[in-house]
Amino acid sequence: MLRSLFTALLLLASTASLAAPAPLTVYTSRQAHMIEPILSLYSEQTGVAIQAVYVPRIGLEAMLQAEQEKGTGQGDLVLLNNVSRLTALVDLGLTQPINSPVMFGIPAQYRDPEHHWFGLTLRTRAIYTRKTEFGGVGAVALRMEDLAKPEFQGKVCMRSGSSPFNTGMIAQMIAANGEAATRQWLIDLKANLVRQPQGTDKKQIIAVAEGVCDYAVANSYYFGYMDKDDTERELAKRVHINFANQQDRGAHMNLSGAVVLNSAPNPEGAQAFIEYLASDAAQALYPALNDEYPIRAALAASELVASWGRFKPDSVMIADWAGFEADAQRLVADTGFDD
């Protein structure tokens, strides 16, 4: 009798263990409001307990290296907001490939050819102008290269050239136009700035709305951020978002994405979660949380993002220009762009 009872308890414990999926730890530098809803939804649907660990954008690579060297790493995957941050982890050997047919459904230009990183949401780097009724130049059809022309002298606002958002764009220009042309573009653009590079992307849009400058460059989702604040919403109503380079290669695109860590305690669970983020169901929510575009063009953007209009994105492989990030950083320093 006691033996039968003991056997039954062992079977019950084994069944309970099988029924409880392994927990998942997600490292991310994204803000909580951009990630918590999708984490909660996944947990509700799968029963997987997810711990979000919010990590600093600066020093992340060193932190993860130290964890892996000491064998103390608890993170399974990392969600980051820029391809340069993803490729930095890959280059340091901190990640493992994801061999998943589901993830190969992501367009080739938005994933690593070696399958280490995968894009999950998209944004474009756009040109902002003030509407004519507020004394601006109105909607324009410009290339990013045009902002360096003499007629734009004293009319352009820009954040630091060393921002990853700008070095990504500069890296893409090196890939498209060559290093010498991009160096000259930076020199000429610097001469056209109305003030020393400063502030966030959103501050550049506000500067256009307030008449500080006629043109500014910023990521598209910052325009969406302004819709969430009453004062900023009124400023955003004065501004056009203009998609750049529609006459030639298309608008510069960057992405947020994910990698699975080498030291992941639960790599299978990490892959399953990333596959979920790439699914049609999750793509209806995850990009909208940050006013970004879905990773596949066939999927609908949020009502707000769609209201900005359709545009032609650059179709180049992001991996092809991501390798020029270091060159972009060097050009920013060599030209004294931020001085």
More confident residue, 1 or 46: 46
pTM value > 0.85:
yes
**In this structure, what CATH number is given to the domain that contains residue 46?**
3.40.190.10
- Whether the pLDDT of residue 124 is over 60: the answer is yes
pLDDT at 33: 85
pLDDT of amino acid 15: 41
> Is residue 5 situated within a structural domain?
no
% of the chain beyond a pLDDT of 90: 85
Decide: 267 and 260 in contact? Cβ < 8 Å. Answer: yes
Spatial contact of 304 and 224, defined as CB atoms under 8 Å apart: yes
Asked if 190 and 284 sit in the same domain, the reply is no
Asked if the structure places residue 11 within a domain, the reply is no
Domain count, the chain: 2
> Looking at the predicted structure, is the pLDDT value of residue 201 above 70?
yes
Q: Is pLDDT of 16 > 80?
A: no
**Residue 325 and residue 225 share a domain:** yes
Mean pLDDT of the chain: 92
Whether residue 91 is found in the same domain as residue 128: no
Band of residue 108 on the pLDDT scale cut at 50, 70, 90: very high
Same domain, 213 and 321: yes
The pLDDT value given to residue 85 = 93
200 and 329 share a domain?
A: yes
* Helix (H), strand (E), coil (C) string for the chain: CHHHHHHHHHHHHHHHHHHCCCCEEEEECCCHHHHHHHHHHHHHHHCCCEEEEECCCCCHHHHHHHHHHHCCCCCCEEEECCHHHHHHHHHCCCEECCCCCCHHHCCHHHECCCCCEEEEEEEEEEEEEECHHHCCCCCCCCCHHHHHCHHHCCCEECCCCCCHHHHHHHHHHHHHHCHHHHHHHHHHHHHHECCCCCCCHHHHHHHHHCCCCCEEEEEHHHHHHHCCCHHHHHHHCCEEEECCCCCCCCECEEEEEEEEECCCCCHHHHHHHHHHHCCHHHHCCHHHHCCCEECCCCCCCCHHHHCCCCCCECCCCHHHHHCCHHHHHHHHHHCCCCC
Report pLDDT digits (tens) over 215-264: 999 999 999 999 999 999 999 999 999 999 999 999 999 999 999 999 99
Q: Are 116 and 95 in contact (CB under 8 A)?
A: yes
Selection from 53, 87, 19 nearest residue 317 by Cα: 87
Whole domain around residue 26: which residue ranges? 21-122+254-302
- Whether residues 190 and 200 share a domain: the answer is yes
pLDDT digits (tens, 9 = 90+) for 25-65: 999 988 888 899 999 999 999 999 999 999 887 888 888 88
